Structure 1
Amino acid sequence: MIRWSDFSPSILESIDWNRCLEQLELCSSRCPSAYWPAIHPIAIMAIIGAKEHHVDPQLSQIAQNDKTIWYKKPNLRLLYLILIPTGLGVEWTSGFDSSMMNSLQAVSSWFEYFGRPNSSRLGLLSAIYSLGALMAIPFVPYFSQRLGRRRTILMVSWIMVLGAGLQAGSRNVDMFLASRWVLGFGIPFAIINASSLIGELSYAKERPIMTSLFNASWFVGAIVAAGITFGTFQMSTTWAWRIPSLLQLVPSGCQIVFMPFCPESPRWLISKDRGDEAFAILSKYHSEGENGEEFVRLEYAQIISTIQQEKEVASKFLWADVFRDAAMRRRFMLAGIMGFFTQWSGNGLISFYMKKILNLVGITDNHTVQKFILGNTCWGFINAVPIALIAPRFARRKMFLTCTIGTACVYTVWTVASARFAIEQSQKAAIPVLVFIFVYSPFYNIGWNALAYTYLVELFPFSQRAKGIAVEQLTVRFAVFFNTYVNPIALDSIGWKYYIVYCVWILVEILTVYMIFPETQGRTLEELSFMFEGKDVQDKVQKNAQKVLQVELEDIRERPVSRESRDVPGNTKV
């Protein structure tokens, strides 16, 4: 039997882990039960230690050498403006909901109308949103591949408008719970397709920044919700909570209004044999810089070649690809880990139960709680936007390590200060808690906010991207369900000692990021599509791309790259 103790650092560094994975695939296919007990240490280490390979970065080099700034490209500028309400705006809905539920706990009329909910009932009122999302996630990839990114977002936007209307008109707890389930059911469809659409439409040079701004947009909805609730919470009627609930439909309404003007993903169009439409979109939005025609033709050829390769190995059963091979298992493992880490890094306490955190350090006045929630939300937005613009310029691993180490330090000081307040009951001990709630935000935003969807879009090839983000959303919603249901009970039961759980957990995050997170910075999506599959597969894709260029060159020349608006959505068929 092979033991973990058999592996020294020098041995681990000398092993060809990709070769190990190939042999393990062969062995397990022949006799899984015989081989697995003996090789499980190797199997796990192979997944962790396998080196990623990158293809020749010809396309990304053209993009990086393009000196024309995006706002000097009229069509690309228009595209990014349209992606604000249609893509980034999806996170406004998510931020609005989290902030609203956080603030409603300090609204007396809401608290009284629903029978002064205890910790368990309060947890359920928040957690039912995640339960709806969990039930929706298995169906998201099917609709995404069947309908495309645009129509799926449009469909669920109507569902979330319905949910907001039901919540605003709630007559009892059951109706309120049902409305939040409807809202939760719609949100993963929107998030998965919007993040994919942003990544697949953006020009390679700005793609990491655009996908980083996706999560930062959460704060827009959160600030609006906190501000609205702060303005209504002193109303004596039920409109104190019905107005914020009703206005939750506004972000989804933005998607309904503006989505007809947004183009479809060129990669989805190519996967549906609609190459002419895809080429028209790429031609319009990606050809305005230096060497624009060369970039578009090479990008078009790489997308076709990559999707052809994906179709060759794709399984007929929708979710079978999750377990197809070691490379794909590694991707989905990373997606699942990302989901847990983005929600179990202590942010769930701040996002949903700020009132209870402040109560633990002697702040019980609802007006003060509302001001603190609004101030902290505004501070989150102020630091999240510049971080989203800057973080993608640095190596992904370094940013994630900075994030996890920083949040670990913050939570340690926060826990010590809370313990001191519990012992001394002094205002001086409470001040560090309030300060470090604000310090926490930029550290969290450096990694889990700014880079979460940037990283996910880069990890997965087109055919698996919706499923990959769906797996991330599955673990996100499971983690949020746990947070929203368990956190209030734990805070009431053991108080500040509950923070110790997060101190320990974030140390696990640091170790995990260091050991298994690959680097993806500085490449286009097609250059990253097969980074875990090895050099042979990547060489095959490159050769196929050259063949596509040669075979279709004459056809492409007959329809030359044009920056003019032709059959491009708004006008492209949906």
Structure 2
Amino acid sequence: MAFNKQTDVAAVSEQSEVKRLLDLDTVSWWKRPNLRRLYLCLVPAVLGVEMTSGYDGSILNGLQAVQPWLDYFGKPSGALLGAITAAFSIGAVIALPIVPVVNDRVGRKHSITIGSLIIIVGVILQTASVDLAMFLVARLLLGVGIPFCISGASQLIAELTFPKHSSVLNGLFNESWYAGAIIAAGVTLGTYAIPNNWSWRIPSLLQIVPSMLQMTFIWFIPESPRWLVSRDRSDEAFEILVKYHAEGDRNSALVHAEFAEIQATVRHEMENSKRHWVELLQTPGNRKRVLIAACVGTFSQWSGNGLVSYYLAKVLATVGITKKKIQNEINLGLTCWNLVTGVTGAFLTKKINRRTQYLIAFVGMTVLFACWTGASADYAKTKNQYAAGAVVAMRQIFVYYMFYTIMHPLTYVFVTEVFPFVHRAKGVALTQFFSRGAASFNSFVNPIALGAIGWKLYIVYVAWLAIETTIIFFLYPETKGPTLEELGRLFEDVNPMVKGHLDLERNEKAEDSHVTYVEDQPKM
């Protein structure tokens, strides 16, 4: 079986009883009282996770312009400032090896709870910092907490929500990063003029808000039905599906089809896996999954976005825009633009195929980065601050980010679809590991390269974007359409964890047009 052919997805979808029943379901979510209540609680319980991450990235940039913060901590610069910036990512990398273990043992919900508690402690320490060492420890703790939240939230969305809505909600989850960044920029701007340490302690303290929302609303949403099945709590899983996917109708054909598929797949995976990290390297399909996770994480940071996000002032200077006020206005405008286009990209996941969305984004970024490089070269020749090249470059940066944010919502959508339940937590952790590692690399290398070769660094990114596009074309599979349980069939001709039960299920369907219930299905 080919690894990335769209025909494979079509074939699986055509054989899917769940997909057939979903196509027959045309009732909107807002017309379903139980599902509506679930989403109203789910949004503040999980979307705040990436808001915390975005808030952190933006607040540190803002604090570097707050004089009381600079004075209090001795005007950190150079390697010390780099360490403060990187502490968040370093904390995340430290935590990542144990995140999947915790996630699988305590569940998706309480992985968010644990991460939120760690973040709350980190925020309190950061706000009360009396010296730089305490500030650094606080930022490390913030970094440690965030992967627990991201891993739990992305999987909870994928495994709990109504199948038609999971990709959009997971996309919005990732794009909430920009909402956090905008809030942080506004807060630091609003407290900038306070002539004492509250000018930086207030923005630090307000970072606690998303985690407090998570800790409040997490108790009003259920656990992942798939995780419950893995813990031999099938009755609870069935009741959750009945309540939220069928509005209490215990005779729903869709719920029975979902439950039968979930139970058969999860149990088969659990019986054939010891859930060790080494299993990710033992089969061709799992090795491909690991490679995809590495590419998704790395490409999310190495596609030129890290250059603009962290060093926008230096990038703008290469096209003659050097006034701080104008740079700050562009930064705020760009962040707002990213939120709008990112939300658009999240809703596109419901309409177009994953590979198509990825390829449109990366081809667009490659072309725009090439044009942007030309505009920078034009300015380098003319040395005119208001040369046409500067205006063109600014337009190209905004269009480039439109393509980037079309792709950005797919990060956790794609990874949660690529990995089977038994290794999904590890897949999300791997993606975060490569993303944080790539971001750390960017934070140190890009300013050095910009200082050494200026706009010519963009040529490197043009070439690398072309390589990324080629890798995506040949490596990434199409995952839109089949259920999470059915997607395991796309990776290997013989998958010991899923193939057997799916063959049996197809045979049963050939004999009986109704879904065959597994032995210990909850009693009516």
Out of 81, 85, 91, the position equivalent to 1:126 is: 85
Q: Specify the SS of the correspondent of 2:482.
A: coil
Conserved? CA contact 1:93–1:221, under 8 Å: yes
Cα deviation for residue 80 of structure 1 reads: 1.3
Conserved? CA contact 1:286–1:292, under 8 Å: no
Conserved? CA contact 1:91–1:214, under 8 Å: yes
Task: Sort the Cα spacing of 1:49 and 1:454 in 2 relative to 1 into closer, same or farther, 3 A.
Answer: closer
Report the equivalent of 2:344.
386
Report the equivalent of 1:395.
353
Report the equivalent of 2:103.
144
Amino acid at match of 1:425: K
Amino acid at match of 1:332: V
Report the equivalent of 2:219.
260
Report the equivalent of 1:454.
413
Q: What are the Cα deviations for residues 80-121 of structure 1, in whole angstroms up to 9, with x where unaligned?
A: 111111122211111111222233333344344444443433
Q: Specify the SS of the correspondent of 2:274.
A: coil
Amino acid at match of 1:90: V
Could you tell me how far apart the structure 2 residues matched to 1:512 and 1:555 are?
Answer: 43
Out of 400, 410, 418, the position equivalent to 1:440 is: 400
Task: Sort the Cα spacing of 1:177 and 1:425 in 2 relative to 1 into closer, same or farther, 3 A.
Answer: farther
Report the equivalent of 2:51.
92
Report the equivalent of 2:139.
180
Report the equivalent of 1:417.
375
Conserved? CA contact 2:114–2:148, under 8 Å: no
* 1:190-339 matched pairs, under 5 angstroms: 190-288=149-247, 293-315=252-274, 318-339=276-297
Task: Sort the Cα spacing of 1:308 and 1:290 in 2 relative to 1 into closer, same or farther, 3 A.
Answer: closer
Structure 1: state its 5+ residue gaps. 1-16, 19-46, 560-574
Q: What are the Cα deviations for residues 482-532 of structure 1, in whole angstroms up to 9, with x where unaligned?
A: 112222333333322222221121111110011111111111111213321
Conserved? CA contact 2:256–2:517, under 8 Å: no
* 1:531-546 matched pairs, under 5 angstroms: 531-534=490-493, 540-543=500-503
Could you tell me how far apart the structure 1 residues matched to 2:126 and 2:323 are?
Answer: 26
Cα deviation for residue 544 of structure 1 reads: 5.2
Amino acid at match of 1:415: T
Cα deviation for residue 435 of structure 1 reads: 2.0
Could you tell me how far apart the structure 1 residues matched to 2:414 and 2:106 are?
Answer: 25
Could you tell me how far apart the structure 2 residues matched to 1:401 and 1:459 are?
Answer: 17
Q: Specify the SS of the correspondent of 1:393.
A: coil
Could you tell me how far apart the structure 2 residues matched to 1:228 and 1:500 are?
Answer: 36
Conserved? CA contact 1:335–1:469, under 8 Å: yes
Task: Sort the Cα spacing of 1:520 and 1:49 in 2 relative to 1 into closer, same or farther, 3 A.
Answer: closer
Q: What are the Cα deviations for residues 146-171 of structure 1, in whole angstroms up to 9, with x where unaligned?
A: 10011111011011111122222233
Report the equivalent of 1:43.
none
Q: Specify the SS of the correspondent of 2:196.
A: coil
Conserved? CA contact 1:98–1:351, under 8 Å: no
Give aligned pairs, total: 512
Q: Specify the SS of the correspondent of 1:138.
A: coil
Q: What are the Cα deviations for residues 46-70 of structure 1, in whole angstroms up to 9, with x where unaligned?
A: x789995654222112112211111
Q: Specify the SS of the correspondent of 1:196.
A: helix
Report the equivalent of 1:527.
486
Task: Sort the Cα spacing of 1:196 and 1:551 in 2 relative to 1 into closer, same or farther, 3 A.
Answer: closer
Scaled by the length of structure 1, the TM-score of the pair is 0.84
Cα deviation for residue 539 of structure 1 reads: 5.1
Out of 112, 115, 121, the position equivalent to 1:156 is: 115
Scaled by the length of structure 2, the TM-score of the pair is 0.91
Greater shift after overlay, 282-291 or 69-78? Answer: 282-291
Structure 2: state its 5+ residue gaps. none
Greater shift after overlay, 541-550 or 463-472? Answer: 541-550
Conserved? CA contact 2:488–2:495, under 8 Å: no
Amino acid at match of 1:456: V
Task: Sort the Cα spacing of 1:430 and 1:169 in 2 relative to 1 into closer, same or farther, 3 A.
Answer: farther
Amino acid at match of 1:131: I
Conserved? CA contact 1:263–1:281, under 8 Å: yes
Conserved? CA contact 1:127–1:485, under 8 Å: no
Task: Sort the Cα spacing of 1:550 and 1:379 in 2 relative to 1 into closer, same or farther, 3 A.
Answer: closer
Cα deviation for residue 416 of structure 1 reads: 2.1
Task: Sort the Cα spacing of 1:392 and 1:436 in 2 relative to 1 into closer, same or farther, 3 A.
Answer: same
Could you tell me how far apart the structure 2 residues matched to 1:360 and 1:115 are?
Answer: 30
Could you tell me how far apart the structure 2 residues matched to 1:363 and 1:212 are?
Answer: 33
Could you tell me how far apart the structure 2 residues matched to 1:111 and 1:95 are?
Answer: 22
Q: Specify the SS of the correspondent of 1:345.
A: coil
Cα deviation for residue 357 of structure 1 reads: 2.4
Amino acid at match of 2:395: V
Cα deviation for residue 479 of structure 1 reads: 0.5
Task: Sort the Cα spacing of 1:233 and 1:416 in 2 relative to 1 into closer, same or farther, 3 A.
Answer: farther
**What's the Cα RMSD here?**
2.5
Could you tell me how far apart the structure 1 residues matched to 2:95 and 2:327 are?
Answer: 34
Q: Specify the SS of the correspondent of 1:442.
A: helix
Conserved? CA contact 2:269–2:422, under 8 Å: yes
Cα deviation for residue 135 of structure 1 reads: 0.8
Conserved? CA contact 1:60–1:204, under 8 Å: no
Task: Sort the Cα spacing of 1:83 and 1:193 in 2 relative to 1 into closer, same or farther, 3 A.
Answer: same
Cα deviation for residue 207 of structure 1 reads: 1.5
Could you tell me how far apart the structure 2 residues matched to 1:516 and 1:377 are?
Answer: 31
Cα deviation for residue 334 of structure 1 reads: 0.5
- Please tell me whether residue 507 in structure 1 is matched to residue 461 in structure 2: no
Conserved? CA contact 1:106–1:366, under 8 Å: no
Could you tell me how far apart the structure 2 residues matched to 1:126 and 1:324 are?
Answer: 37
Cα deviation for residue 240 of structure 1 reads: 2.7
Q: Specify the SS of the correspondent of 2:393.
A: helix
